[in-house]
Amino acid sequence: MRRIASRIVSAIAAVSLGLGAFAGIGAAASGAGDVTSFQDVAQTHRIGHQMVFDVQGAKATLDGQAVAPSKSVVKDGRVFIPLRLLGTSGTASSIKWDAEKREAHIVMKPQVTSVREELVFRPGKEQLFTADGTPFSAEKIPAPFVKDGLTYIPVKPLAWLGISAVLGKGTMTWQWNANTIRLLTLGQATDQEYVSLSILNGRNMGLPNLQIASAEGSWSSVAGAVMPLGFAQAGELYDRVGFTVKLSPGLNRVRLSAASGETVEFAAIRTVPSGTTPVPLTEAGQRYLKLEAPLHGYLTALDGVKLRIAGTAADDAENRLRIDIRFFQYVDRAAGTLTYGYLPGKQIAIRDRAFESEIPLEGGPGFYLVKVESSKLAPSGAEMTAYAQIMVETKPNAAPPAGSDKSYRGYKNEDDPSYVNAVKQGEMPPPLLSDGWLSEDLLKRIHGISLVAGKDGSVPALPNDYYLMLDAAPSRMLLHAVFPEGWRSQSSFSR
């Protein structure tokens, strides 16, 4: 599996939307437009920064921490600083020298509150320029210059870039503010389809944005509403910006963006019974595919299962499908932090308009977003056309609980003598098989299937020996089931 080493942003959180955590602020209603309370999940705020350095290049600190110093140059009584100090300060996202045009192009980070995000300096020119070469202002500046391969600029234009610079006794102090966004909550999940999320937003920081990942793989914006709040913190007045979000079963990726452009991402997890929701098909998927397996768009299973994907195509336009698998795994479930990556994709052949394959989900316990796509590029040419997606949550394989020593044998019909005897003896009715298939009733309750491993832990002891995780409130029940030779499960999972 190709795993993304870093987390999604610095923290990806499962929002505290569970009934216990959510009850303190009011539970969300079950329908859109009837959500009466909001949970603050993030806050935009302003952080002040300071860099102090000796103009002779002896030392420099950034927010109290030592950083690499750079020597400034005093020319005609004015201090010129090397451009690379903007990189040291962390205020600039890029500093580029165009040798052909002989100009330095500065792009500031969007979270820095500056008058101009981009400026161009030209050595020898007493003027600033925009990115397209237009003079920025009629106001003259001391001309920048190049010395020993370094570009030096005057201190005066730093104000346009959001930096206040003060010189005193051979030491220069830079100060600036950065608007940022941070997550406020970590927690579990919700069983609601609609939830109300809100961002505490500074009045002078612009409006934030919320997006949720769609079945097609793109990000869809959710309209927000400003609710005046007016509380003060660190000299800033804050309002609440609320969003009503519709969640799909399982893990939902939600992206929050401050007006500055800084983005954080978290996972809102909606819990539903496994096997109760249809597979979400895109418009293209509804036209082209008829899925026979899986039957449901959200499934839970034990770790190591294979997902069966089968169905028919509407025409002969394609000879194969593409399977894209994205994997989300808890690094620290208590903290809600996740890591994510990709499992190797797979091609499924379409023959006589029919397709069938088993997709191994081998990344370990976690959430698998399995996307069924066209093998051809979409008309835009940028990506594949999406047809359907299935969310599978896998749980760790566990030994049967103590005292769970009963075996339940499957039978093909209610007339089977062994079945009749079992019922007469008052035993729990074993899973019925219909024409060799697992009964629909049991299918609805299965959370996962795992082969019983042999003594060496590597091979099945019996080819038809399974543990079934049944959803039996208030706790789940792990049963040992032995099925007849030649039995085949119609479930979406197999081993």
The per-residue pLDDT for 146 is 92
Residue 401 is assigned to a structural domain of this protein: no
Query: Residue 474, preceding bond cis, omega within 30 degrees?
Result: yes
Least confident of 99-113, 124-138, 182-196, 425-439: 425-439
Residues 62 and 155 occupy one common structural domain: yes
Residue bearing the bigger pLDDT, 73 or 481:
73
pLDDT at 425 (0 to 100): 58
Q: What is the pTM of this model?
A: 0.58
pLDDT at 364: 81
Domain membership flag for residue 336:
no
Q: Dump pLDDT digits (tens) for 263-285.
A: 888 778 888 877 788 898 989 99
106 located within any domain: yes
Asked if the structure places residue 276 within a domain, the reply is no
Domain boundary, last residue among 147, 169, 191: 169
185 and 42 in one domain? yes
* Number of domains the chain is built from: 4
What are the pLDDT digits (tens) for 239-257?
899 999 998 888 888 888 8
The mean per-residue pLDDT over the stretch 358-386 comes to 79
Given this model, what pLDDT does residue 356 score? 93
Q: What is the pLDDT of residue 312?
A: 94
Task: Tell me the pLDDT band of 50, cut-offs 50, 70 and 90.
Answer: very high
75 and 158 share a domain? yes
Q: Are residue 147 and residue 236 in the same domain, yes or no?
A: no
Split at pLDDT 50, 70, 90, the class of 454 is: very low
User: For the chain, what is the mean pLDDT?
Assistant: 73
**pLDDT tens digit string along 66-110?**
998 899 999 888 899 999 899 899 888 889 888 888 999 999 887
Q: 386 with 466, same domain? A: no
* Residue 30: CATH number of its domain: 2.60.40.10
- Percent above pLDDT 70 for the chain: 67
Q: Is the pLDDT of residue 226 over 80?
A: yes
* 84 occurs within a structural domain: yes
Task: Please tell me whether residues 67 and 119 are part of one structural domain.
Answer: yes
More reliable by pLDDT, 297 or 301: 297
Give yes or no: residues 39 and 185 share one domain: yes
Query: Containing domain of residue 194, as a range?
Result: 2-46+181-270
pLDDT of residue 379: 56
The last residue of one of the domains, among 227, 246, 270, is: 270
Share of the chain above pLDDT 90, in %: 19
Say if 470 falls within a structural domain.
yes
Do 165 and 61 share a structural domain? yes
Do residue 297 and residue 386 come from a single domain? yes
One domain for residues 291 and 384: yes
Is residue 383 domain-shared with residue 436, that is, in the same domain?
A: no
Q: Which residue shows structure tokens 């997550």?
A: 183
Selected residue with higher pLDDT from 455 and 73: 73
What count of other Cβ atoms lies within 10 Å of the Cβ of residue 398? 12
What pLDDT sits at residue 380? Answer: 54
Predicted local distance difference test score (pLDDT) of residue 301: 77
CATH number at 112 reads: 3.30.457.10
User: Looking at the domain assignment, is residue 221 inside a domain?
Assistant: yes
Residues 77 and 138 in one domain: yes
Q: Is 277 domain-assigned?
A: no
